């Protein structure tokens, strides 16, 4: 009985205590860690990861898994940059078109999964490669930047304007704009999932598809919505990434997939939720951001960071599945 209580406590609050312990450790070894500027840097760093992770969370809620979000980020990043640098389109279209592209990727994922009946992992893995091939073909493998040389020998006439760059680099009342967008997204998605009929339908469908179908819920429509939202949030991340770095990088989304997946799975164990949830996802992303920032301040080699990220994911999965198996037994 005592062992069960310890396991329950560690499951509910383990992730929170890990975050607190990591903050305390890095604060001791580096007095600059807990400064306002550094915390702001951490939140700015995780703003893009969190948006991608929210998309992954939507797919997990309906008992799926979207592996294509990284490629979707790369696609929308280069498309966003090209719309300004190559075609000089106005800002509203520069934002709208990539979001529509993200939604289309989500629709194709949903069609492969709910109509063709390809398993989620295989369908989205296929889309990962297809979308990666599309954006590299579109750019011929090159990044897109201001006044870049074109294949015909001319120079691109467009630039990434100040208004657009403000989305990724600006501040509002001293708070970075990407951080504000991230926090608004987290709150909005939490309200949607926790307090609306649409959010309940997503959880019901993910919990038991057959029961949902017998209750009159269109599981095809609900799962389609989840994958479309996953693509849209990946596209938002791509737009903000472009505005932050000031160019369209062809492999921008590649490193984001693992971090987003880790953040979403850490979220399972936050406060003992036992299910995908956006507050947990945000705290998972925050934990990853703290680790990356702290390790950077310790001057550890960047190539060792993936070991830490992988260890965090193993920890999250261990806590989640040990608890699930214990409840079943």
What integer is the mean pLDDT of 151-156? 82
DSSP assignment, residue 155?
Answer: B
d(CA 252, CA 262): 18
Answer for the pair 112, 246: CB distance below 8 angstroms, yes or no.
no
The ranges assigned to domains in the chain are 2-328
pLDDT band with cut points at 50, 70 and 90 for residue 72: very high
H or E stretch at 59: helix 36-61
How much of the chain, in percent, has pLDDT values that exceed 70? Answer: 91
pTM of the model: 0.92
**The pair of three-digit structure tokens given for residue 105, joined into one six-digit string:** 């990727």
Query: 32-41, 67-76, 168-177, 292-301: lowest mean pLDDT where?
Result: 292-301
| b/e 68-86 (16+ beta carbons within 10 angstroms → b) | bbbbbbbbbbbbbbbbbbb
- For 246-268, the pLDDT digits (tens) are 999 988 888 899 889 888 988 87
CA atoms of 320 and 329, how far apart (whole Å): 15
pLDDT of residue 227: 97
CA 146 vs CA 13, 82, 89: distances in Å = 47, 10, 14
Q: Is 22 helix (H, G, I), strand (E, B) or coil?
A: helix
Name the residue with tokens 């406060």.
Answer: 271
Write b or e for each residue in 212-249: b if 16 or more Cβ atoms lie within 10 A of its Cβ, otherwise e.
beeeebebeebbbbbbbbbbbbbbbbbbbbbbbbebbb
- The confidence band for 220, taking pLDDT boundaries of 50, 70 and 90, is very high
pLDDT category of residue 43 using cuts at 50, 70 and 90: very high
In whole angstroms, give the CA distance from residue 217 to residue 195: 18
Q: Which CATH number fits domain 2-328: 2.10.25, 1.10.10, 1.10.3470, 1.20.1300?
A: 1.10.3470
Residue 121 binned pLDDT confidence (cut-offs 50, 70, 90)? very high
Q: What is the pLDDT of residue 279?
A: 93
Mind giving me the DSSP string for 233-299?
A: HHHHHHHHHHHHHTSB-TTTTTTHHHHHHHHHHHHHHGGG--S--HHHHHHHHHHHHHHHHHHHHTT
Average pLDDT score over the chain: 89
Band (pLDDT 50/70/90 cuts) for residue 225 is: very high
Q: How confident is the model at residue 328 (pLDDT cuts 50, 70, 90)?
A: low
Q: For residues 135, 137, 138 and 143, what is the CA-based torsion angle, rounded to 10 degrees?
A: 70
Amino acid 204: pLDDT: 94
Per-residue confidence band for 156, with pLDDT thresholds at 50, 70 and 90: confident
Give pLDDT tens digits for 78-98: 999 999 999 999 999 999 999
pLDDT given for residue 323 in this prediction: 61
Q: Is 80 exceeded by the pLDDT of residue 127?
A: yes
């Amino acid at each position: 009985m005592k062992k069960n209580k310890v396991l329950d406590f560690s499951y509910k609050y383990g992730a929170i205590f890990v975050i607190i312990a990591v903050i305390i450790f890095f604060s001791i070894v580096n007095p600059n860690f807990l400064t306002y500027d550094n915390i702001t840097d951490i939140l700015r760093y995780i703003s893009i990861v969190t948006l991608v992770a929210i998309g992954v969370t939507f797919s997990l809620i309906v008992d799926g898994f979207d592996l294509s979000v990284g490629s979707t980020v790369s696609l929308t990043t280069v498309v966003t940059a090209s719309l300004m640098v190559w075609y000089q389109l106005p800002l509203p279209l520069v934002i709208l078109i990539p979001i529509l592209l993200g939604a289309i990727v989500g629709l194709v994922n949903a069609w492969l999964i709910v109509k063709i009946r390809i398993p989620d992992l295989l369908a989205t893995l296929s889309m990962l490669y297809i979308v990666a091939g599309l954006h590299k073909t579109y750019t011929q493998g090159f990044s897109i930047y201001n006044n870049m040389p074109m294949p015909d020998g001319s120079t691109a006439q467009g630039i990434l304007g100040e208004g657009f760059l403000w989305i990724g680099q600006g501040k509002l009342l001293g708070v970075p704009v990407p951080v504000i967008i991230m926090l608004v997204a987290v709150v909005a998605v939490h309200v949607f999932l926790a307090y609306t009929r649409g959010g309940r339908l997503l959880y019901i469908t993910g919990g038991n598809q057959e029961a949902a179908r017998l209750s009159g819920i269109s599981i095809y429509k609900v799962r389609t919505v989840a994958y479309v939202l996953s693509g849209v949030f990946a596209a938002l991340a791509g737009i903000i990434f472009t505005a932050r770095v000031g160019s369209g990088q062809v492999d921008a989304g590649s490193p984001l997939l693992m971090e987003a997946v880790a953040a979403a799975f850490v979220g399972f164990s936050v406060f003992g939720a036992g299910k995908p949830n956006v507050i947990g996802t945000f705290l998972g992303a925050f934990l990853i951001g703290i680790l990356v920032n702290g390790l950077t301040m310790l001057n550890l080699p960047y190539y060792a960071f993936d070991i830490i990220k992988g260890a965090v994911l193993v920890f999250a999965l261990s806590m989640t599945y040990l608890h699930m198996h214990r409840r079943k037994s």
